[in-house]
């Protein structure tokens, strides 16, 4: 079993902490509902520093490739992850509310036991569009729907063949 990475967030900033590591997708269980399979891993880097105004910041970078389910045909949809987030650490809820009103930077509460993996999970989930699906020409279901439409609308007749060609190309 893997050991989750937990930091004292303010300490991490004071020590100019930096860590780079990989997490197997198998371990990111909150993502699993969205995934086609659990193959692969994401790479992250987290570092802490004080910005020009002496505010404690965590910078989080996440990269990797995950396999989502297409919401239309339920087949595999490969999604590249390439995220960079800056998070302002706040001392209390009031400060947190104040900061979240202005949209320039996300803020989180500075806690002594910040679970970095779960933060990463959250950032990935937030980054995914609510309805992820293949581009029209590459989706099986879209091809089927196009075929149905074509039996009514003759002017679109060439379309399914183009879609099929595109589909074959990526196979």
Nearer to Zn ion, 104 or 135 (CB): 135
Give the nearest distance from C-beta 148 to Zn ion in angstroms.
16
Nearer to Zn ion, 119 or 139 (CB): 139
What is the helix (H) or strand (E) element at residue 170, kind and residue range? helix 159-170
Q: Which two tokens stand for residue 23?
A: 């997490």
List, as one string, the DSSP characters of 39-95. Answer: --EEEEEEEEEE-TT--EEEEEEEEEEEEEEPTTT-SEEEEEEEEEEEEEEESSHHH
Angle at 99 between CA 109 and CA 97, to 5 degrees: 70
Nearer to Zn ion, 28 or 139 (CB): 139
**Bridge partners of residue 6, in order along the sequence:** 115
* 73 lies in the site for Zn ion, by CB under 5 A: yes
Binding mask 112-141 for Zn ion (x = CB under 5 A): ----------------------x----x--
* 143 lies in the site for Zn ion, by CB under 5 A: no
Nearer to Zn ion, 26 or 69 (CB): 69
Binding mask 10-49 for Zn ion (x = CB under 5 A): ----------------------------------------
Q: Which two tokens stand for residue 132?
A: 């992820």
Residues of this chain, 53-72, that bind Zn ion according to CB under 5 A: 70, 72
Q: Which two tokens stand for residue 98?
A: 């104040």
């Amino acid at each position: 079993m893997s050991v989750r990475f937990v930091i004292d967030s303010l300490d991490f900033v004071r020590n100019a902490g930096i860590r780079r590591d990989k997490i197997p997708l198998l371990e990111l269980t909150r993502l699993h509902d969205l995934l086609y399979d659990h193959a692969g891993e994401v790479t992250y880097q987290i570092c802490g520093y004080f910005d020009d105004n002496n505010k404690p910041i965590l910078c989080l970078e996440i990269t990797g490739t995950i396999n989502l389910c297409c919401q239309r045909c339920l087949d595999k949809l490969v999604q590249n992850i390439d995220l960079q987030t800056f998070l302002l650490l706040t001392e209390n809820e009031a400060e947190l509310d104040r900061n979240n009103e202005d949209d320039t930077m996300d803020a989180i509460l500075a806690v002594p036991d910040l679970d970095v993996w779960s933060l990463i999970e959250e950032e990935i989930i937030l980054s995914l569009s609510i309805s992820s699906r293949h581009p029209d020409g590459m989706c099986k279901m879209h091809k089927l729907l196009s075929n149905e439409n074509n039996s009514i609308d003759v002017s679109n007749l060439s379309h399914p063949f183009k879609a099929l060609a595109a589909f074959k190309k990526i196979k």
